[in-house]
Amino acid sequence: MKQPEFLPISKSDMEKLNLKDLDFVYVCGDAYVDHPSFGHAIISRVLWENGYTVGIISQPSWKTPNDITRLGKPRLAVLVSAGNIYSMVNHYTVNKKKRSADSYSPGGKAGMRPDRATIVYCNLIRQAYKDVPIIIGGIEASLRRFAHYDYWDNKVRRSILFDSKADCLSYGMGEKSIVALANSLSKGETLGDTLIDGCCYIKKDLEGLNDYITIPSFEEVTDDKPLYAKATKIQYENQDSVVAKTLVQKHGDRYLVAAKPMAPLETDELDWVYELPYSFRPHPIYDKDGGVPAIEEIKFSITNNRGCFGECNFCALTFHQGRSVRCRSTESVVKEAIRMTKDPDFKGYIHDIGGPTANFTNPSCQKQLKMGTCTKRKCLYPDVCKNINADHSKYLKTLRAVRKIKGIKKVFIRSGLRYDYLLADKNDAFLKELCKYHVSGQLRVAPEHISDSVLSLMGKPPAKVYNRFVEKFNYESQRLGLKQYTVPYLMSSHPGSTLNDAIELALYIKKHHISAEQVQDFYPTPFTVSTCMYHTGLNPLTMEKVYVPKTMEEKQMQRALLQPNDPKNHSLIIKALQKTGRQDLIGFEASCLVRPRLLQKEKPVSKDGENKKTLKKRKEVNKNELSDFRRKKSISKGKGPAQNKSGKPKSKRR
């Protein structure tokens, strides 16, 4: 059957397509956006192209099972995803405060999905359909496939398979896995009878299972933090489709069985996936709400590659897309760019051609194609591997081809760039063309920190590498006569970061006149190396102890230090400097981070004059404190008390 413009979302849509029932129903926590940047669109279109009908139930009510059954009972299975973003991250800030908006919902309205959406949806489906197989997927399921530390509950939770009562978990990107699962179900097979790569199952015993690794059980990792770290290390070392083994983790009297990852899509397969007949827009039912905000950033962006061998410890990509990079063909990207030029809203600007890391378009080395990625060595840390294939020629070919398309004025690169990989390329052609054609005045890069000890725990290169990149970028921009700047993404409170490290970063920000707008607190999301450090106080890759900033006060101080020009942060910065004995950075000199608190303007609590007396008294106190501050400053410089022209101490006014 030819794919419709939008997949059915109601019984009336099914009737128009002469469908009495569907093979699959896809329940999703996001609004239905038929664009390949949305997992539900890709998986549904892939299934439809393979001969299976799929309907979408987007953001159903979770108060009763009624809404989740609106498309009827599917013939093969219900697919469930919380959406493009983990539902708890979508709902809460790192300080566990409720967010006021949701860009993946109609009109940006918050509260359109429940907390832990995958579990809630599955329990509703199980109430409605006792015997229909449930397959869970997406980022929420993928990163919670093993027993994991949960930041919001501050405890170790079971694999999401147990809490959701689903029959199978498809992790990673899932196109190959879902087709294999569909074919198995259509033959009448029971999920789990045969292990499918990229899938997890619950089993009562391990009879017939061969060539697997047992990791510490749920009970063990709950009670023993070193064992939790050990489990994380084993999981980390088994994320490549070539070298990984099946992993088994006992939960009570049952076993979680995680088959090895599915092989990544090759270039022709990626081209096929991204050239399926997407509508590239939200479903029209959301027009009355003003559409879905998330489409705005990606509407005129093109996904060029998948996978990331950068392996930052705080990033989940290693555990979701994997380390083995694959890229679309230039011809496929050009087709998508030409389609964009025909959109009535297109103004001539492509916002991005990239991926998890824009300038990764090749496997990191040829050896891994046959032998897999290294389990004991990172590609870029602690330095660039001697076997790295640092080559931007394929990416340049694509960028040049898109620039030539009629109707395209500018192609920006807004995905992350690994500057250490860029510097490893002996040919400067990419850097030169990046500066000349692909920067919008500001280039966003992610050094994350400047303290080498913190960078080491992040899995990032030393600060000197970032400095070298900035120098080369600035030189090339100046040579071209362009006023362009790097805008660094910075992170506070990562495991290993002390207040002294935050002060070091603050001084770097001041020295280089950086306006640190892109600042985030470390967010301990499930299934990352850094989250393991946060929970256990151990680096799972070395088992060395790690300092972890956990108190709200210290987190606030570290974040404030990264934005010293914001008056709201001054009192926190002063507190941090006093706590670390760095009062020398409080003052009026150019080297100081902040002026004394007494010089900050006090705002009236109310406008009714009730506090005028209080304010007057405070001003008098501040005036006296200022005099005292200047006196102490003078003494500290060896000048003694303030003196008049005759050399005698000045008399105080009575």
What is the predicted pLDDT for the residue at 232? 97
What is the predicted pLDDT for the residue at 651? 41
Give the separation between CA 579 and CA 595, rounded to whole angstroms.
16
Mean pLDDT across 300-327: 94
Question: Are 534 and 540 within 8 A, CB to CB?
Answer: no
What is the predicted pLDDT for the residue at 618? 46
Contacts of residue 596, defined as CB under 8 A and 6 or more positions apart, other chains included, come to 574, 586, 587, 625, 626, 629
Residue 230 burial by Cβ neighbours in a 10 Å radius (0-12, 13-18, 19+) = buried
What is the predicted pLDDT for the residue at 602? 44
Categorise residue 212: left if φ over 0, alpha if ψ from -120 to 50, beta otherwise.
beta
pLDDT one-digit tens code per residue, 529-546: 999 999 999 999 999 999
Quickly count: other Cβ atoms within 10 Å of residue 254's Cβ: 14
What is the predicted pLDDT for the residue at 180? 97
pLDDT one-digit tens code per residue, 407-419: 999 999 999 899 9
Residue 639 scores a pLDDT above 50: no
Query: Nearest 5 degrees, angle CA 634-CA 637-CA 643?
Result: 40
Paired sense of beta strands 349-350 and 352-354, if any:
unpaired
Residue 113 scores a pLDDT above 50: yes
Quickly count: other Cβ atoms within 10 Å of residue 276's Cβ: 16
What are the residue ranges spanned by the domains of the chain? 11-196, 300-439, 441-600, 601-633
Query: What φ, ψ does residue 424 adopt, rounded to 5°?
Result: -75, -20
Q: Per CATH, which fold does 300-439 belong to? A: Transcription Regulator spoIIAA (3.30.750)
What is the predicted pLDDT for the residue at 392? 97
Contacts of residue 49, defined as CB under 8 A and 6 or more positions apart, other chains included, come to 3, 276
pLDDT classification of 626: cutoffs 50, 70, 90:
low
Element (H, E) at 473: helix 463-479
Does this chain's domain 11-196 share its CATH topology with 441-600?
A: no
Specify the range with the lowest mean pLDDT, choosing from 45-59, 326-340, 452-466, 609-623: 609-623
Spell out the alpha helix ranges (H) of 187-248: 218-223, 225-236
Residue 368 scores a pLDDT above 70: yes
Mean pLDDT across 12-38: 97
Question: Are 200 and 171 within 8 A, CB to CB?
Answer: yes
User: In the chain, what percentage of residues exceed pLDDT 90?
Assistant: 85
What is the predicted pLDDT for the residue at 405? 98
Residue 1 scores a pLDDT above 90: no
pLDDT one-digit tens code per residue, 434-454: 999 999 899 989 999 999 999
Question: Are 445 and 460 within 8 A, CB to CB?
Answer: no
What is the predicted pLDDT for the residue at 629? 52
> Of 67, 65, 40, 66, whose CA–CA distance to 55 is shortest?
40
Which pair of structure tokens corresponds to residue 183?
């074919």
Average pLDDT over the chain reads 91
Residue 512 scores a pLDDT above 50: yes
What is the predicted pLDDT for the residue at 605? 47
Q: Report how far apart, in Å, the C-alpha atoms of 400 and of each of 397, 427, 441, 480 are.
A: 5, 16, 20, 18
pLDDT one-digit tens code per residue, 150-200: 999 999 999 999 999 999 999 999 999 999 999 999 999 999 999 999 999
pLDDT one-digit tens code per residue, 597-619: 654 444 444 444 444 544 454 45
Give the separation between CA 619 and CA 616, rounded to whole angstroms.
5
What is the predicted pLDDT for the residue at 516? 74
Mean pLDDT across 509-533: 90
Query: What φ, ψ does residue 437 adopt, rounded to 5°?
Result: -120, -20
DSSP class of residue 150? E
> Of 224, 227, 207, whose CA–CA distance to 216 is shortest?
227
User: In the chain, what percentage of residues exceed pLDDT 70?
Assistant: 91
Tell me what percent of the chain is helix, strand and coil, each rounded to the nearest 5.
Answer: 35, 15, 50
CATH H-level, domain 11-196: superfamily: Response regulator (3.40.50.2300)
Paired sense of beta strands 519-521 and 485-492, if any:
parallel
Contacts of residue 240, defined as CB under 8 A and 6 or more positions apart, other chains included, come to 261, 322, 323, 324, 368, 372, 373, 375
Which pair of structure tokens corresponds to residue 191?
């999920």
In CATH, the number for domain 441-600 is: 3.30.750.200
Mean pLDDT across 1-25: 96
pLDDT one-digit tens code per residue, 221-231: 999 999 999 99
What is the predicted pLDDT for the residue at 609? 44
Residue 394 scores a pLDDT above 70: yes
What is the predicted pLDDT for the residue at 373? 92
What is the predicted pLDDT for the residue at 652? 38
What is the predicted pLDDT for the residue at 627? 55
What is the predicted pLDDT for the residue at 376? 86
Give the separation between CA 416 and CA 311, rounded to whole angstroms.
13
Residue 196 burial by Cβ neighbours in a 10 Å radius (0-12, 13-18, 19+) = buried
pLDDT classification of 641: cutoffs 50, 70, 90:
very low
pLDDT one-digit tens code per residue, 34-46: 999 999 999 999 9
**Tokens 């959109």 belong to residue:** 343
Better pLDDT: 316 or 158: 158
Mean pLDDT across 548-566: 93
pLDDT one-digit tens code per residue, 334-361: 999 999 999 999 999 999 999 999 999 9
Residue 637 scores a pLDDT above 80: no
